[in-house]
Chain A
């Protein structure tokens, strides 16, 4: 059973709202993880090509923050995780109050978790204490869950740039609203951003093709620009715009880190006790040794999973390097289809690699398995193997399995024991899908 309570001052409330607005552009549910020193909100999009996380520091972001957890059914004794609908949270955490309500503006927000073992519904209780004695309170139903984090090793990134997001927003303003992808590269003293769409159109529809727009700015507009010349990487424009919009609101310098096409790119920035990280899968012409990824398929991000009631299927034989993943022209897949897909594809493809069978948001990242290191020793490490590593080279990857990756996920003690013993040990108290009135949020 976990206890969590924290309170927020109005400026932090506004920042939380901005973060929720940003997250809502990626998916409809958000995972909330509480640890002793931080609260993390993260969203993985349905095609698993974008992972977004906001980490709020317990000391500097909150007015008060208290977290406690006691054994029992929790897989990890130092962490609590649940998921909620973003729309539900957004109906509670709103933006700036309009002028008319000035006198009853929120003065303090108190949040408390009611994690009742014997109750059928778990509740997050939020109280907004406003002026003139007005108190608004909400009880939100949540679902306990396991959370996956995209793995990204910043130390391995070869290319990096930092810029005032305002400059980037000025660039994206020029793009057609229907453009889907954004290609970034540098050429001489210029950084060039091009919007494009991979949609195939026949001759008749030529005029319906979205306008290709390229915008070149001087490298001097960047705070930092260390990028291999003429290296193209492409990401989903919609994701990029969502991130830029938030970074601009937050007034934070944004940093991009990546190695090469078809490897993840991470955008990050920090401000006032908040750290944001967005890990996006890139596409583009991959380099020679990267045989398995086609430029048309968007590979999924790899996951690092927080301990969960899962069963691992151990079959880590060397991977076939000539395996081509089925190309997907569209990366949108319904969330509900993911778990079945995971169970179907694994036997069918008979791919001898690590795979996970579990009922969660996450599907093993099939496009990336070729780089996974066979590992039959510890599940704890097997989990790491699933993780994507920015270098993608086997030898450097091996090297990276050490402490660096452990930095991302400090400790996972007794994890496999717990999960083995209890199998599906954390039944969600109530599936969000079982709640009536769900149609409202479809």
Chain B
């Protein structure tokens, strides 16, 4: 068996990237793994109402070999009909990846904390950014043949750790929550930190429901509110950044504003979109009026908190049915700055996308009934 070539071998010099990506969907104990010639797909879900998906592109690995047993012939490689698919313990996989680098004295407690809802920014807290530490280290993922365990080998100076994760048959019931790509009515792109901050903020008051409200015509352009908490309702509004005090007045005096902060006043008229958004497209169907409002179970949204914390950017999309997609981009190269625009010709080799989808709460007239629905 050992002399036979494994179906799949991928080597990474940086297990931390794998860990950072995979912990984003660490809300579920198990994950479905699918190996393709382009990369590995990990998906986790809960009760068919929330789904998280991580795609580790083969570019993330220093070497990536996929030899499907049936597709040795060249003509078959086009089909990619054979993609091994199985279920492993995600918590065990994450815990194993954490062993990589335990000897880094810089963060002896970090692995324990990382299991909390708010992991620190990987790019800033990690000792992995020091190139010298990466020498003599590797992390190898291997899958020998159908039914084999998924094996992870971590090699560091003086010690080699091998973990064989039992693979379970995928039950076939894995179904993606359908996002109607041809019926997207909202697409908002902004720094993930703003979303993370807002959700953390709302989470402090323990709401049961999160309401997203967006309009391209009137303020607030984008508002997230939490309701159902024991004694507090909270809202985070993303509006247009204004000059110092005018915002506070119930009726802003536009003339005054124009006098002391001309450019900002113009900006407000020009752009009917929150300051923090890069892209703000809201086009509700006529039945909704000018504003899109949709509610989700807050506890479900919170499952994406780790992804929000780890990612640089998020694309928030909603379709006509109310299905919400949060697509996160984790840029390991620019993680620390977060200001670098991607795609600008830089070598974006270390980028991972994490996709979350949520089923909406049934809405009864503007969220009034949300609390009841949750009971």
User: Measuring CB to CB, which residues of chain A are less than 8 angstroms from any residue of chain B?
Assistant: 7, 85, 88, 91-92, 94, 100-101, 104, 107-108, 110, 129, 131-141, 432, 435-438, 440-441
What 4 A-B pairs come out closest when comparing CB atoms?
A437-B230, A91-B204, A133-B241, A133-B275
CB distance from B147 to the nearest CB of A (A): 44
CB distance from A145 to the nearest CB of B (A): 15
A136 and B236 within 8 A (CB): yes
Q: Interface readout for B219-253 with A: 1 if CB under 8 Å, 0 if not? A: 01000000001111111111111101001100000
Asked whether A100 and B121 contact (CB < 8 A) given A110-B248, A133-B240, A133-B276, the answer is: yes
Stretch in B52-60, B193-201, B286-294 touching the partner: B193-201
Interface residues of B in 105-141 (CB under 8 A from A): 121
A138: contacting residue among B205, B230, B239, B242, CB under 8 A: B205
B237: contacting residue among A7, A131, A137, A440, CB under 8 A: A137
**Taking CB as reference atom, which chain B residue is nearest A91?**
B204
B241 and A132 within 8 A (CB): yes
Interface residues of B in 200-224 (CB under 8 A from A): 201, 204-206, 220
Residue from A100, A139, A432 whose CB has the most chain B CB atoms within 10 Å: A100
**Count of chain B residues with Cβ under 8 Å from any Cβ of A?**
30
Contacts of A129 in B (CB 8 A): 247-248
Q: Interface readout for B349-375 with A: 1 if CB under 8 Å, 0 if not? A: 000000000000000000000000000
B248 and A136 within 8 A (CB): no
Rounded to whole angstroms, the CA-CA distance of A139 and B275 in the bound complex is 25
Rounded to whole angstroms, the CA-CA distance of A430 and B248 in the bound complex is 30
CB distance from A418 to the nearest CB of B (A): 29
Rounded to whole angstroms, the CA-CA distance of A234 and B220 in the bound complex is 56
User: Measuring CB to CB, which residues of chain B are less than 8 angstroms from any residue of chain A?
Assistant: 121, 193-194, 197-198, 201, 204-206, 220, 229-242, 244, 247-248, 274-276
Asked whether A141 and B231 contact (CB < 8 A) given A131-B241, A133-B275, A135-B237, the answer is: yes
**Taking CB as reference atom, which chain B residue is nearest A121?**
B231
CB distance from A156 to the nearest CB of B (A): 41
Rounded to whole angstroms, the CA-CA distance of A100 and B121 in the bound complex is 9
Can you give 22 contacting A-B residue pairs, CB < 8 Å?
Answer: A85-B231, A88-B232, A91-B206, A94-B204, A100-B121, A104-B197, A108-B248, A110-B248, A129-B248, A132-B275, A133-B238, A133-B275, A134-B194, A134-B197, A135-B237, A135-B247, A136-B235, A138-B235, A139-B233, A432-B231, A435-B230, A441-B230
A136 and B206 within 8 A (CB): no
A134: contacting residue among B206, B230, B234, B238, CB under 8 A: B238
A100 and B193 within 8 A (CB): yes
A92: contacting residue among B194, B232, B241, B248, CB under 8 A: B232
Rounded to whole angstroms, the CA-CA distance of A432 and B231 in the bound complex is 8
Contacts of A131 in B (CB 8 A): 241
CB distance from A7 to the nearest CB of B (A): 7
Rounded to whole angstroms, the CA-CA distance of A7 and B194 in the bound complex is 24
CB distance from B84 to the nearest CB of A (A): 38
Asked whether A138 and B193 contact (CB < 8 A) given A91-B204, A92-B204, A133-B242, the answer is: no
Contacts of A139 in B (CB 8 A): 232-234
CB distance from B114 to the nearest CB of A (A): 16
Asked whether A435 and B204 contact (CB < 8 A) given A101-B197, A135-B237, A136-B237, the answer is: no
**Taking CB as reference atom, which chain B residue is nearest A139?**
B233
Contacts of B194 in A (CB 8 A): 104, 132, 134
B235 and A137 within 8 A (CB): yes
**Taking CB as reference atom, which chain B residue is nearest A439?**
B230
Contacts of A108 in B (CB 8 A): 248
Asked whether A134 and B276 contact (CB < 8 A) given A91-B205, A100-B121, A140-B231, the answer is: yes
Additional A-B contacts beyond A92-B234, A129-B248 (7; CB < 8 A) = A7-B248, A88-B230, A91-B206, A133-B239, A134-B194, A137-B237, A138-B234
CB distance from A387 to the nearest CB of B (A): 33
Residue from A7, A110, A135, A432 whose CB has the most chain B CB atoms within 10 Å: A135
CB distance from A351 to the nearest CB of B (A): 38
Residue from A92, A136, A140 whose CB has the most chain B CB atoms within 10 Å: A136
Rounded to whole angstroms, the CA-CA distance of A440 and B229 in the bound complex is 10
Rounded to whole angstroms, the CA-CA distance of A94 and B234 in the bound complex is 14
Contacts of B237 in A (CB 8 A): 134-137
Rounded to whole angstroms, the CA-CA distance of A435 and B232 in the bound complex is 11
**Taking CB as reference atom, which chain A residue is nearest B197?**
A101
Rounded to whole angstroms, the CA-CA distance of A432 and B276 in the bound complex is 37
Rounded to whole angstroms, the CA-CA distance of A100 and B204 in the bound complex is 18
Rounded to whole angstroms, the CA-CA distance of A7 and B197 in the bound complex is 22
Contacts of A137 in B (CB 8 A): 234-237
Contacts of B240 in A (CB 8 A): 133
CB distance from A124 to the nearest CB of B (A): 9
Asked whether A135 and B239 contact (CB < 8 A) given A7-B248, A101-B193, the answer is: yes
**Taking CB as reference atom, which chain B residue is nearest A97?**
B197
CB distance from B142 to the nearest CB of A (A): 36
A133 and B248 within 8 A (CB): no
Contacts of B231 in A (CB 8 A): 85, 88, 140-141, 432, 435, 437
Contacts of A110 in B (CB 8 A): 248
**Taking CB as reference atom, which chain B residue is nearest A142?**
B231
A440: contacting residue among B197, B230, B241, CB under 8 A: B230
**Taking CB as reference atom, which chain B residue is nearest A125?**
B233
Contacts of B232 in A (CB 8 A): 88, 91-92, 138-141
